Amino acid sequence: MVTILVGGQWGDEGKGKIIDLLSEKADMVIRSQGGNNAGHTVVNAGQEFRFHLIPSGILYPTTTCVIGNGVVLDPRVLLEEMQQVQSRGISIDRLVISDRAHLIMPWHPILDKLEEEQRGDDRLGTTWRGIGPAYADKVRRIGFRAGDLLKPRFLEKKLGFVLNKIKNPILQELYHVPPLEPQAVLDEYTAYGEQLGPFIKDIFPIVQQALTGNEQILLEGAQGSMLDLDFGTYPYVTSSSPSAGGALTGSGISPTAVDLTMGVFKAYTTRVGYGPMLDGVVARYSVALNGIRSIALTKLDVLDEFDPIRICTGYISKGELQSYPMSNISHLKHCEPVYETLPGWRSSTAGIRRPEDLPKAARRYIDRLSELCGAPIDIVSVGAARDQTIWMQGGQTGLAVRQREHEPSHP
Ligand code: GDP
C-alpha cells in the first residue's frame, strides 16, 4: 500500500504533522526530493522536533526511514541531525540512505550565494544551502553521490576532475574568490563516508521487498506543488519536483504501485497586505496535477477570528476567466482574482475533535473548499499537536476506504 503525500501550495502547509499522523501506520517512510532547504515540524508529547533530512517517521520505533535517491544531502547537516535525534533518546538504526542520493559539496553553497548575488534584484531567494547547484551538477552528470563516499580512491579521482578542472576555475576566474583545496575536501568527505557508511545502501531491493510484502509505504513530500520545477511559479521554484511525479522518480516506485495521493493544504494562502484568503485556483490545480484523492486541511484554527473569509475561485486575464494558474508568472501579475465570500465562525476550533462539533460556518467553508478543489477533505487540523485533528469521515476509516477504492483491480 503506497501513499504519496504532497504539499498543495508553496510549502509550510503543516505537512510534518500530517506525515507524523500517517507514519504511525507506516512500515516505511521515504523522503524523495529536496534537501535541507525544507523541513518539517512535529510536536510529539509536548516536545518539538524539527527535521530537515531524516523522515519524521523516525519517531516511531518500527518504521524504516529512507532518504531516497531524489534527495540532495549535505553530509555535515545530516550527521548533525542524526546526533540531535539520538541525543533525544531516539534510535537511528532504521535509517537508510540511498547510495544514489546526490551530495552537497563544499562549492555548492559558495556558488549558490555568488550566483544569487549576481542576479541582483532578480534574485530567487534561495537558502544558500547549495541545493540548486547540487541538482544542476546532477543533471550535468558531474554530481557526487552518497555511494561515492564509500570509495575514497574514486572520490579522489573525481575531485581531480570536477574540482580542479571545473569548480576551482569558476571560483577563481569568474568570481575571484579563493579556490578549494582538493585534499581538504577529500579528507572531509572520506570522514563523512566512515560515519555514514553503515546507512548508505542501494535502496532499490529494500523498497521492492517492502512493495512485494505489501507493507505500508508513505512517500513524504517536502515543499509544495507550486514550487515544482516544471509546474510551479518558475523561476521562483525549487530545483526538484515536489509533486507526485517527483515522489516516484525520487524513490524508484512505479506509478502503478501507488494507491493514494494525499494533498496537504493550509486553510488559507498568505498574501502580504491582503489578509487571508484561499487561492482555490492553486488548490484545484494541485489536485489535478498530483491526482489528489484525499485532502488534509491544516491550520483551520488560524482563521477562527476572521470574518468574512474570501476564496479566490478564478483569475481574470485579458477579460477571460482562467481556471488554472498560467505557466507564465508575468501574466499572473496582471490577473484579477475572482472572489467568493463566506461568513467566518468567530469561535475557537482548537478544542474540536469531531466533525459534528464544528461551527456551521466552518463546516460550510470546508465543504465549499472540497467542492472547488474536486477532492474530499478527510483530515482537518486545528492545532500543531497530534490530537488536534478532526477525522472528517469518522476515525481513519475514510482514508482507508479511499485507499481501497484505488487499489489496482489486478493482483
Ligand atoms: P511543512 O513545510 O509543510 O512541513 O510545514 P511544517 O510542518 O514545518 O509546519 C509549519 C508550522 O505549522 C509548524 O510550526 C507546525 O507545528 C504548525 N502547524 C501544523 N499544523 C497546524 C495547525 O493545524 N494549526 C496551527 N496553528 N499550526 C499548525
Which residue in 12, 27, 148, 378 is the catalytic one?
A: 12
Q: What's the confidence (pLDDT) of residue 305?
A: 95
Ligand 1 geometric centre to CA of 126 (Å): 21
- From ligand 1's centre to the CA of 37, what distance in Å? 16
Which of 43-57, 91-105, 161-175, 236-250 comes out lowest in average pLDDT? 43-57
Per-residue pLDDT averaged across 13-17, rounded?
92
Distance (angstroms) between ligand 1 centre and the Cα of 121 equals: 30
- Give residue 2's pLDDT band: very low, low, confident or very high (50, 70, 90): very high
The runs of H, that is alpha helices, within 27-90 are 75-87
CA of 242 to the centre of ligand 1 (A): 18
Contact 222, 38 (CB under 8 A): yes
Rounded CA separation 226/208 (Å):
30
Query: Which pLDDT score, from 0 to 100, does residue 405 have?
Result: 62
Ligand 1 atom nearest 7 alpha carbon: 3
CA distance 199 to 167: 29
pLDDT for the residue 128: 87
More confident call, 278 vs 276:
278
295 Rama class: left (phi>0) / alpha (psi -120 to 50) / beta: beta
Q: In what order do the strands lie in the sheet with 377-381?
A: 200-201, 95-98, 64-67, 28-31, 217-220, 2-7, 258-266, 294-298, 377-381, 389-391
In the reported structure, the alpha carbon of residue 167 is separated from the centroid of ligand 1 by a whole-number distance in angstroms of 38
The pLDDT confidence band at residue 127, using thresholds 50, 70 and 90, is confident
Comparing CA positions, the residue from 227, 226, 229, 299 lying closest to residue 268 is 299
Query: Is 40 assigned a catalytic role?
Result: yes
Which protein residues are within 6 Å of ligand 1, measured from CB? 7, 11-17, 39-41, 43, 298-299, 301-302, 381-384
Average pLDDT, the chain: 91
Please give the pLDDT value at position 409.
44
Note the pTM of the prediction, 2 decimals.
Answer: 0.93
| Mean pLDDT, range 97-124, rounded to an integer | 93
Predicted pLDDT of residue 275: 46
Among 185, 36, 175, 164, smallest CA distance to 106 is for 185
Question: Per-residue pLDDT for 408 more than 60?
Answer: no
Q: Whose CA is nearest to atom 1 of ligand 1?
A: 12
314 neighbors 323 (Cβ within 8 angstroms): yes
Q: What is the pLDDT of residues 167-209, one digit of tens each?
A: 999 999 999 999 999 999 999 999 999 999 999 999 999 999 9
277 pLDDT exceeds 70?
no
From 299, 300, 380, give the residue whose CB has the most ligand 1 atoms within 8 Å, as the site to mutate: 299
Ligand 1 pocket mutation, candidates 21, 298, 387, criterion most atoms within 8 A of CB = 298
Task: Using alpha carbons, select from 105, 182, 93, 112 the residue that is nearest to residue 144.
Answer: 105
* Pocket probe mutation, ligand 1, options 6, 17, 22, 269, max atoms within 8 Å of Cβ: 17
Which pLDDT does position 234 carry in this prediction?
Answer: 87
Instruction: Say if residue 146's pLDDT is above 80.
Output: yes
Spot the catalytic one: 20, 40, 112, 301.
40
Residue-level pLDDT at 272: 45
Q: What pLDDT does 276 receive?
A: 56
CA-proximal residue: ligand 1, atom 2 (nearest) = 12
pLDDT at 403: 63
Q: Virtual CA dihedral for 203, 209, 211, 212, nearest 10 degrees?
A: 160
Does residue 281 register a pLDDT over 70? yes
12 in catalytic set: yes
Q: Average of pLDDT values for 266-286?
A: 77
332, pLDDT greater than 90: no
Give the residue whose CA is nearest to atom 28 of ligand 1: 384
Least confident of 24-38, 189-203, 211-225, 392-406: 392-406
Residue for cell digits 478527510? 378
Residue 369 has pLDDT above 90, yes or no: yes
**Between 40 and 189, the higher pLDDT residue:** 189
Supply the DSSP string of 136-154, one letter for each residue. HHHHHT---BGGGGG-HHH
Nearest CA to ligand 1 atom 16: 384
Share of the chain above pLDDT 90, in %: 77
> Which atom of ligand 1 lies at the shortest distance from residue 388's CA?
23
Which of 40-49, 257-266, 290-299, 375-384 is the least confident region? 40-49
Residue 176 CB-density burial (10 A; 0-12 exposed, 13-18 middle, 19+ buried): exposed
Protein residue closest via CA to atom 21 of ligand 1: 384
What percent of the chain lies above the pLDDT cut of 70? 94
Please give the pLDDT value at position 406. 55
